[in-house]
Amino acid sequence: MTLIVVPVRYPLSEHSAATLREAIKISADRNAELSVLHVDLYQHSKNVTRTDLKRAVEREFGELNNVRYVVRRGFLLEETILEEIVGENADLVVIGSRQAGRWQRMLRKLRADPDIGEFLKGELDCTVITVSADGVTSR
């Protein structure tokens, strides 16, 4: 089964809700499993639980099928998200455009080409879809 990972903020921001809305649509279209990921940063920890995340998502979108809720703790947001993508062997990642911008800045320090989509496709054999706050997607 196809696995889609979608990193979101908790509580859900408007941008996270738009990103999640697109991920839900894609997972329904592809009959895929959806992994909703929140990274609770050690330095700003809110002690978010899977139950907190699930309730927030279900308040916004109702009960969802084929969805798992994951809360990871880490120091670096981008690194923790990448670890989840690699560890779960995700087929597709749906990220907000702000997150994509952060990843590009991180990659710029490591490589001449900071295109996160191309990096993930090349390194992880993973498709990346970027969603803006108004719900516009790019692949």
Domain count along the chain = 1
Report how far apart, in Å, the C-alpha atoms of 49 and of each of 34, 71, 75, 102, 136 are.
18, 6, 17, 24, 29
Q: What is the pLDDT of residue 60?
A: 97
pLDDT per position as a tens digit, 30-61: 999 999 999 999 988 899 999 999 999 999 99
Residues in the chain where the model's pLDDT stays below 70: 100-123
- Find the CATH number of the domain harbouring 133: 3.40.50.620
DSSP 76: -
Query: Crossing angle, helix 97-110 and helix 116-124, to 10 degrees?
Result: 70
Q: What is the pLDDT of residue 96?
A: 86
Q: Which domain holds residue 106?
A: 3-138
Q: What is the pLDDT of residue 100?
A: 62
